[in-house]
A and B are shown apart, each in its own frame.
Chain A
Amino acid sequence: GAGVSQSPSNKVTEKGKDVELRCDPISGHTALYWYRQSLGQGLEFLIYFQGNSAPDKSGLPSDRFSAERTGGSVSTLTIQRTQQEDSAVYLCASSSGLRGNTGELFFGEGSRLTVL
């Protein structure tokens, strides 16, 4: 597709369940990012993939959060044993990723997670 695609757009789950959120970046973009937007909060960086390099996981809030990127394209963010404080909109973005790139990110419309 032409833009960043995320699924599901909405997810309601029970506390303690695991969830998976999917991101399909813009074709050809080597960099992929996950951010979290909580109600009334700004955007919180979670994790960043760049090509075949080790991901930058410095923003993951706990070991319940993990992400992988298969084949340098689609990414899945997994949250294990969900807690109510995990409720947020999870935004995925991609970019051409080169260090010399000016840094503009292209965002998907997000996956809204509600943990009951």
Chain B
Amino acid sequence: AQSVAQPEDQVNVAEGNPLTVKCTYSVSGNPYLFWYVQYPNRGLQFLLKYITGDNLVKGSYGFEAEFNKSQTSFHLKKPSALVSDSALYFCAVRVLTGGGNKLTFGTGTQLKVEL
């Protein structure tokens, strides 16, 4: 079964420092991988996706993610964290089903950026 794992429930980082939110995947075939962010009392917002091509994917709000096939990882990164980046982050993988597709999500990682 296609799945993703987020090993950290929470990540704390100081503003201005680089941040990494970890995600590993288990899929058969080529993975389609996604990162979403959820701010308090809001729905999920798309950040970025990896389909094919360059292993470093750039997305919204200065975030990027690195696809690593040998380590089956897709970690989310940002060179310099902001307090406003504090939110819940979800990794997801596309699963083909019937005539279409759906996303299977990880359990989420709470990012807290402090001054």
Q: Which A residues contact B (CB, under 8 angstroms)?
A: 4, 31, 33, 35, 41-43, 45, 48, 50-51, 53-54, 56, 91, 93, 97-99, 101-110
Contact among A42, A93, A103, A106 for B101, CB-based, below 8 A: A103
Q: Which B residues contact A (CB, under 8 angstroms)?
A: 32, 34, 36, 41-46, 49, 51, 90, 94, 96-108
Instruction: Report B37 CB to chain A, min CB distance, Å.
Output: 11
List, in ascending order, chain B residues with CB within 8 A of A109's CB. Answer: 41-43
Are A107 and B100 touching (Cβ within 8 A)? no
Are B51 and A102 touching (Cβ within 8 A)? yes
Are A104 and B49 touching (Cβ within 8 A)? yes
**Given A31-B100, A56-B97, A104-B34: A42 in contact with B51 (beta carbons within 8 A):** no
* Prevailing SS type, chain A contact patch: loop
Are B49 and A102 touching (Cβ within 8 A)? yes
List, in ascending order, chain B residues with CB within 8 A of A91's CB. Answer: 43-44
Contact among B32, B99, B108 for A103, CB-based, below 8 A: B32
* Prevailing SS type, chain B contact patch: strand
**Given A103-B32, A104-B46: A56 in contact with B104 (beta carbons within 8 A):** no
Q: Which of B90, B96, B102 has the most CB of A within 10 A?
A: B102
**A54 to B100 Cα, complex, angstroms:** 11
Contact among A50, A98, A106 for B98, CB-based, below 8 A: A50
Contact among B42, B98, B103 for A105, CB-based, below 8 A: B103
Are A101 and B101 touching (Cβ within 8 A)? yes
List, in ascending order, chain B residues with CB within 8 A of A54's CB. Answer: 98
Contact among B34, B100, B103 for A97, CB-based, below 8 A: B100
List, in ascending order, chain A residues with CB within 8 A of B41's CB. Answer: 109
**A33 to B94 Cα, complex, angstroms:** 13
